[in-house]
């Protein structure tokens, strides 16, 4: 039935018709009734197509014959003058298809030798592209004893040497080249009579063909009204039968048995559905629903909605969560758009993204029912991600105080003023603080000053480290919840604890120093502090000391970091080996008095587990994991500096477009130059800052979540739960 429906769809498409957008809703049909209807329609269409094809072939043959008759008469007249007059008359009376002549060249067809000239000839129609090769082949086959012409000849040509052999060769060559040959009499009266008959037949065939096409289109239109409904019905039935094919007979072969997964919360709904199916089918035997203990790992299923689905897809693109593993998508709903906004922060650009997201959300109902392109489908699927990214971009843009790279005095004037009258702007030295700091965001006076870049670079770099350390700590904390849920005390003691100690002894301490420096306004060099914490931990810090007891604290933290490395590496493999040995100790011994055969047979479980546990493999795996975490703690923290780098790049690029394009064009007193500058600025903003920079920041935020965050706790080696659903059936399933 699917094949028949595809046949109907192809026929409707070839006929230039459209299926009904609002199909007729019929009462529910049984599958058998639908199959009978489809078979009848298919037989009718095939018969109409066959008849139409036969009529079309006959029509084309008659049309070619008519053209041959009209063009060949000039070769057969005994007098050239009489030939020209007759041809003109024949042309004016019976020939009116000039378009067809332009697509084909003409040859002569066989007739009996003329009484006056003894001329033997063949006439017909052949494709123009083959005419030159056809002429060359005829010339070689007849050794030049023939005359080939595509137009009326001026005089007759005698060939006394031509014979039946040459005629046979020419006919074979005509057949090989696909030339259609037609008999043309040499009598003008007979030519006229045949031409009239052919014209009459052509007229009748045209009428018949038009009637057949109208009848066929009417039948296809009727099918098109029901095609969508029939296709949906057949597709559903096919999906049901495909699922039923997965069931197996029980030992009695009287009932079907199937195993499958279902969410725990859906068991009551499944029981109700099975009872309803038993009642509707009037079955004497009820359907038995039995919950079994799973041998293999169950699939993973997270209930999502329109808002959270896109974030779950982002996480699943890295790997589907292991069954009952902590789901990072819960936290990515906030952290993903926020880290994007840290790199993209500009509340002018954020408003543009917000407008685009609102348009997609406003048209959600209509777009969800349409078939979209790959790019548009991806954009529509991430509309709520785009919404949060735009809102956080506006928030971070207000913190950076950047609106298309222009700072705004949102909360009044700057907190700084000139010391005397010689100080004219923020670029001059001698600024003094005369009021409280700016209540929210960066003070606009930093814009254009000599210390703008050092200040903003320092701010964004330190902020990137704080955000990175916080997110990595969140990942390690989630590994604790995973271990506690799965009751793995080894992972808590020998993985979570040393990882927290190592990370926070170094980079947690660095984050603490950053916060203390911000709060106290100290001039301490944090680079010097961290470097000499390793090189000379016992040396005096001098002016780089931020608080009392900093030096002994650094020594303690350094020792803790050093201890944490072997703590992660060695205990867990040896403890696992000991636990495994104790678990299977004595299980390979047999009872006294048992047979020789029994003594040779070791319990399968013991043998299998002894073979499965490989201490060297476990130790190497733990060593790789430990080294990866130690090196990753450094590289991942450095990787978060991309937040600073991309934010700086976005800000500087936006400034270049504003100053070197818009302001430069606005400096001319010419409306055309201003309009050109405005157009270039709008184009650069839309295609570079709003498209390329958005994509770049999105990919970097994706990397930070997949690598720096999820590798702390997320295994991602599960598989997705894919329940049977009619809503998930697509056209590709045909």
Annotated domain spans of the chain: 1-245
Confirm if 516 and 522 have CB atoms less than 8 A apart.
yes
DSSP secondary structure string for all residues of 179-227: PEE----S-HHHHHHHHHHHHHHHHHHHHHHHHHHHHHHHHHHHHHHHH
Q: b/e map of 500-520 (b: 16 or more CB within 10 Å)?
A: bbbbbbbbbbbbbbbeebeee
613 vs 90, which has greater pLDDT? 613
CA 337, distance to chain mean position in Å, is 21
Q: What is the pLDDT of residues 171-189, one digit of tens each?
A: 888 888 888 787 777 677 7
The tokens of 428 are what? 């001059």
Q: What is the pLDDT of residues 411-444, one digit of tens each?
A: 776 766 666 655 554 444 556 666 777 788 888 8
d(CA 48, CA 219) in angstroms, rounded, equals 10
Q: What is the pLDDT of residue 607?
A: 44
How far separated are the first and last CA of the chain, in Å rounded? 10
d(CA 14, CA 12) in angstroms, rounded, equals 6
Q: What is the pLDDT of residue 734?
A: 55
Q: What is the pLDDT of residue 281?
A: 81
What is the chain's mean pLDDT, rounded?
80
Q: What is the pLDDT of residues 488-545, one digit of tens each?
A: 999 999 999 999 999 999 999 999 999 999 988 888 888 888 998 888 888 888 888 8
Residues paired with residue 108 on neighbouring β-strands, in sequence order: 123
CA angle (331 as vertex; 328, 336 as ends), nearest 5: 100
- Residue 386 exposed, middle or buried by CB count within 10 Å (0-12, 13-18, 19+): buried
Confirm if 186 and 76 have CB atoms less than 8 A apart.
yes
pLDDT of 333 higher than 80: yes
Q: What is the pLDDT of residue 103?
A: 42
DSSP secondary structure string for all residues of 290-359: -----SSPPPB-----TTTHHHHHHHHHH-PPPTT---THHHHHHHHHHHHHHHH--HHHHHHHHHHHHH
pLDDT of 210 higher than 80: yes
Residue 667: Cβ within 10 Å count: 11
Report strand pairing: 248-249 vs 180-181.
unpaired
Q: Specify which of 103-112, 166-175, 472-481, 613-622 reaches the highest per-range mean pLDDT.
A: 472-481
d(CA 2, CA 234) in angstroms, rounded, equals 7
Residues paired with residue 124 on neighbouring β-strands, in sequence order: 107, 181
628 vs 89, which has greater pLDDT? 628
d(CA 392, CA 317) in angstroms, rounded, equals 23
Residue 83 pLDDT level (bands cut at 50, 70, 90): very low
Q: What is the pLDDT of residue 479?
A: 95
Confirm if 627 and 568 have CB atoms less than 8 A apart.
no
Q: What is the pLDDT of residue 184?
A: 77
d(CA 71, CA 427) in angstroms, rounded, equals 94
Low-confidence winner among 34-38, 334-338, 662-666, 709-713 (lowest mean pLDDT): 34-38
Low-confidence winner among 50-54, 264-268, 384-388 (lowest mean pLDDT): 50-54
313 vs 82, which has greater pLDDT? 313
Confirm if 66 and 199 have CB atoms less than 8 A apart.
yes
Residues paired with residue 418 on neighbouring β-strands, in sequence order: 431
Phi-psi region of 178 (alpha: psi -120 to 50; beta: other; left: phi over 0): left
Q: What is the pLDDT of residue 408?
A: 84
Q: What is the pLDDT of residue 138?
A: 83
When pLDDT is averaged across residues 655-660 and rounded to a whole number, the result is 90
pLDDT of 302 higher than 50: yes
Q: What is the pLDDT of residue 108?
A: 41
Q: What is the pLDDT of residue 64?
A: 73
> Torsion over CA of 379, 381, 382 and 386, rounded to 10 degrees?
70
Q: What is the pLDDT of residue 158?
A: 39
- Residue 551 exposed, middle or buried by CB count within 10 Å (0-12, 13-18, 19+): middle
Residues paired with residue 257 on neighbouring β-strands, in sequence order: 248
- Phi and psi at residue 452, in whole multiples of 5°? -65, -55
Low-confidence winner among 150-159, 451-460, 563-572 (lowest mean pLDDT): 150-159
Task: Estimate the crossing angle of helix 452-485 against helix 642-657, to 10 degrees.
Answer: 140
84 vs 640, which has greater pLDDT? 640
When pLDDT is averaged across residues 234-260 and rounded to a whole number, the result is 84
Residue 257 pLDDT level (bands cut at 50, 70, 90): confident
DSSP letter (8 states) at residue 89: H
Helical ranges in 431-451 per DSSP H: none
d(CA 409, CA 412) in angstroms, rounded, equals 5
C-alpha distances in angstroms, 204 versus 55, 101, 213, 216, 565?
A: 10, 21, 14, 18, 96
Residue 446 pLDDT level (bands cut at 50, 70, 90): confident
Residues paired with residue 432 on neighbouring β-strands, in sequence order: 417
Q: What is the pLDDT of residue 419?
A: 61
C-alpha distances in angstroms, 165 versus 161, 189, 295, 558, 672?
A: 11, 30, 85, 108, 82
Residue 293 pLDDT level (bands cut at 50, 70, 90): confident
- Residue 693 exposed, middle or buried by CB count within 10 Å (0-12, 13-18, 19+): buried
Q: What is the pLDDT of residue 88?
A: 56
Q: Where are the beta strands (DSSP E) in 430-501?
A: 431-433
Closest of 427, 424, 416, 484 to residue 450, by C-alpha? 427
Confirm if 478 and 716 have CB atoms less than 8 A apart.
no
Q: What is the pLDDT of residue 553?
A: 92
**CB-hemisphere CA count at 13 Å for 86?**
23
The tokens of 234 are what? 């057949």
> Which residue shows structure tokens 């509340």?
347
Residue 78: Cβ within 10 Å count: 12
């Amino acid at each position: 039935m699917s094949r028949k429906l595809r046949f109907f769809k192809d026929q409707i498409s070839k006929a230039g018709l459209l299926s009904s957008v609002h199909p007729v809703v019929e009462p529910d049909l049984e599958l058998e009734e639908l199959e009978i209807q489809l078979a009848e329609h298919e037989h009718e269409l095939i018969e109409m197509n066959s008849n139409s094809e036969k009529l079309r072939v006959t029509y084309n043959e008659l049309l070619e014959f008519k053209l041959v008759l009209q063009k060949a008469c000039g070769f057969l007249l005994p007098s050239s003058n009489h030939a020209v007059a007759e041809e003109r008359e024949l042309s004016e009376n019976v020939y009116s298809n000039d378009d067809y002549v332009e697509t084909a060249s003409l040859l002569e067809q066989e007739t009996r030798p003329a009484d006056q000239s003894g001329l033997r000839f063949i006439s017909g129609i052949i494709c123009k592209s083959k005419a030159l090769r056809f002429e060359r082949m005829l010339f070689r086959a007849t050794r030049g004893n023939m005359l080939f012409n595509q137009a009326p000849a001026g005089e007759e040509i005698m060939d006394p040497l031509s014979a039946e052999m040459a005629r046979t060769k020419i006919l074979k060559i005509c057949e090989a080249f696909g030339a259609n040959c037609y008999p043309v009499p040499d009598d003008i009266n007979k030519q006229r009579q045949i031409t009239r008959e052919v014209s009459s037949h052509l007229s009748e065939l045209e009428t018949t063909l038009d009637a057949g096409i109208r009848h066929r289109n009417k039948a296809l239109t009727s099918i098109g009204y029901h095609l969508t409904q029939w296709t949906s019905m057949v597709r559903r039935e096919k999906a049901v039968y495909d699922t039923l094919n997965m069931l197996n007979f029980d030992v009695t072969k009287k009932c079907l048995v199937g195993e499958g997964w279902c969410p725990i919360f859906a068991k009551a709904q499944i029981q109700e559905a099975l009872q309803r199916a038993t009642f509707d089918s009037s079955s004497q035997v009820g359907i038995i629903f039995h919950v079994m203990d799973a041998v293999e790992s169950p699939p993973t299923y997270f209930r999502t909605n329109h808002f959270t689905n896109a974030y779950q897809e982002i996480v699943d693109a890295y790997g589907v969560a292991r069954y009952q593993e902590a789901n990072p998508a819960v936290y990515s709903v906030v952290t993903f758009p926020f880290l994007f906004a840290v790199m993209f922060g500009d509340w002018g650009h954020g408003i543009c993204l917000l407008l685009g997201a609102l348009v997609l959300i406003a048209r959600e109902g209509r777009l969800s029912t349409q078939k979209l392109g790959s790019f548009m489908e991806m954009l529509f699927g991430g509309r709520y991600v785009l919404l949060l990214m735009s809102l956080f971009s506006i928030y971070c843009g207000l913190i950076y105080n950047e609106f298309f790279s222009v700072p705004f005095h949102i909360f009044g004037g700057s907190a700084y003023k000139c010391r005397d009258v010689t100080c004219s702007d923020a670029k001059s030295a001698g600024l003094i603080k005369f009021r409280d700091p700016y209540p929210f965001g960066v003070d606009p006076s930093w814009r254009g000053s000599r210390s703008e870049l050092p200040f903003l670079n320092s701010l964004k770099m330190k902020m990137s480290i704080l955000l990175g350390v916080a997110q990595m700590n969140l990942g390690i904390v989630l590994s604790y919840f995973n271990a506690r849920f799965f009751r793995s005390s080894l992972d808590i003691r020998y993985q979570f604890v040393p990882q927290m100690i190592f990370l926070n002894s170094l980079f947690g301490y660095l984050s603490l120093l950053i916060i203390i420096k911000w709060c106290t306004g100290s001039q301490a060099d944090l680079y010097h502090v961290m470097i000499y914490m390793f090189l000379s931990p016992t040396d005096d810090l001098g002016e780089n000391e931020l608080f009392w007891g900093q030096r002994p604290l650094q020594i303690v933290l350094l020792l803790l970091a050093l201890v944490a490395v072997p703590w992660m590496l060695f205990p867990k493999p040896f403890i696992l080996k000991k636990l495994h040995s104790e678990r299977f100790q004595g299980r390979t011994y047999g009872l006294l008095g048992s047979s020789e055969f029994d003594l040779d047979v070791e319990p399968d479980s013991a043998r299998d587990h002894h073979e499965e546990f490989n201490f060297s493999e476990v130790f190497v795996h733990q060593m790789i994991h430990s080294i990866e975490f130690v090196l990753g703690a450094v590289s991942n923290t450095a990787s978060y500096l991309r937040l600073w780098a991309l934010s700086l790049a976005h800000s500087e690029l936006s400034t270049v477009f504003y100053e070197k394009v818009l302001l430069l064009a606005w400096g001319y007193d010419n409306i055309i130059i201003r309009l050109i500058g405005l157009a270039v600025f709008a184009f650069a903003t839309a295609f570079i800052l709003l498209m390329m920079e958005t994509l770049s920041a999105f990919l970097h935020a994706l990397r930070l979540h997949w690598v720096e965050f999820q590798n702390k706790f997320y295994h991602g080696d599960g598989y997705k739960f894919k329940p049977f659903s009619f809503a998930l059936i697509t056209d590709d399933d045909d």
